[in-house]
Structure 1
Amino acid sequence: MSDAVFLTEVCSRDGFQSIREWIPTEVKVEIVNALIDCGYKQVEVTSFVHPRAIPQLKDADDVLAQVKRRDGVTFRALVPNVRGLERAINAGVHKAKLMLSASDSHSISNANCTTEEALTQFEPLIERAKESDIEIAGSISVAFGCPYEGDVPVERLIMICERYASFGIEEVSLADTTGMANPAQIKRTVRELTQRFPQLVFTLHLHNTRGMAFANAVAGYEEGIRHFDSSTGGLGGCPYAPGASGNIASEDLIHGFEAMGIPTNVSLDRVLETARLIQQHLPSHIDSFVLKAGKSSDLSERPAEQVKVES
């Protein structure tokens, strides 16, 4: 296994939205700028949802107006409707990701409508996007298990992918929103979807709620997935899904893949520096193995002499 992976950093959207205490706009800008310096080619900067739904991201326009722009770095944002899309276009977002749940229960909780109703509401959004330069990507939350309904049938995912394909969408994110997936399930689901939809690029968006995220990432990689979302410091969690703790930490994903000889083209050292910056501002929200333990290549000094223990 040596094919490089493409990582999208989602800390400033998925990570920040889960934090109740207000993060000042200038701190958000500082963190996003630091993330850009890590070498990511795509950063999910924010979300254009209604401020009442996600108060933490009400400054989305201001953040995008102040962050630095760099050639070759795509700015992505989550958009729920046409109004959100208009804001994203005006803010200079390159790619808008749609917000959709695999189950009706999670969709009603998250978007106040069923999955089918949400898909229907995407139609004018898609038409508006065609009039602009913005790209549209699809997503499927709770794709591997719903906290209200349990297992999500793969037929449900197939139906959603068919609708996305009919819209002309070429990229779909599969989200393990509450960390319910396991490697065998990831393999079965990814194999089924990639065989049925070879024209679609699938991304895995994994949460580490039950410590399975890296194993799930490797399972996805073995089935051909090369695009992954991750969050520096392990920040994240859906406000509308019980038990949805943080995303897989970017530093853990990068460290694991690089140790296996899989290039990520993102600087682990810079990601760790950014994780420490986030830790300074949000100390109680960091959840990262590598930040705590260091890289496996960080060796300790040998003892000066052997310690003898008397029997």
Structure 2
Amino acid sequence: MTIESPHRLWLLLGVAALLLAYLRMQRRRSRYAVRFTNLRLLDRVAPHRPAWRRHVPAGLFLAMLALLVVGFSRPAADVEVPRERATVMIAVDVSTSMLADDVDPDRLTAAKDAAVKFAGKLPDEFNVGLVAFAGSAAVIVPPGTDRAALRAGIRRLAEGSTGVQGTAIGEAIDTSLGAIKQLDPQANADPPPARIVLLSDGANTSGRDPEAAGEEAVAAKVPVHTIAFGTPTGSVDRGGRAIRVPVDGETLHAVAEQTSGGYHEAASSAELRAVYEDIGTSVGYQTKRMDISARFIGLGLLLALGAAMGSMVWFSRLP
């Protein structure tokens, strides 16, 4: 925490002066009571002395003044807040190789579950969209804040849902960038802060060159975080014959490096969830210096109410 107007803290000397004056008055009162020699008569005149309770309203009042002075001095702190208009596009590979069961129960199902959890942990203010890609790419859910629609879109993902076989990483990036540009009417003139999170298990085999798509992402200042999901021993069953589909992250690594994103490898559902959580911390918030004087003023007002209530209950008057 920092103080934007530290010179105003000099007012705390006034609070300290009031405290010293109060202590001095209490000391004078105790001396006067001792000079009252007829203690039996004093007990009859004031049999129920408030003892410590008479100091509570005064203590709360002085604490209130101190908090108000601190609030008046404009305290500020670094606070993590969701990025305004922030957009995250999740691009999921739905090619045939994603049916490999080297990840329980299979790569695609595990990827869908992890994507749902990742989206659920992003701030509600974030716009999140979904792209499915195999030999081509398509926007399944345009970026927005409707998490129910996003979850439904992720659940609908199925192998071959784009209708074209292959793995088009470049097309997935290009389609995601297009969805970001259509976020709102000012997206072209004032692009929102955005990220693309792309999950695949193989190298690019069709569509646009990933390097060319990466150059567009660099120009748009949109980092691409890539996840190579699967193991080297993966295989799919086709007509009773096992076809090997080992994970290949070379292209994904190159794209992430080109766009200043992060490259990750995940060989299990647990590792994939951990990767998503790591990505979420990097795109979720930005640190801003914010005025927090309201916290001190609010607490000071609560202490003022406490002082007033204590004085009314114990002494039938306001302090």
Higher relative contact order (CA 8 A, sep 6+): 2
Q: Check whether TM > 0.5.
A: no
- The structure with the greater share of residues assigned to strand is 2
TM-score by length of 1: 0.30
Which of the pair has more CA radius of gyration?
Answer: 2
TM-score by length of 2: 0.30
- The structure with the greater share of residues assigned to helix is 2
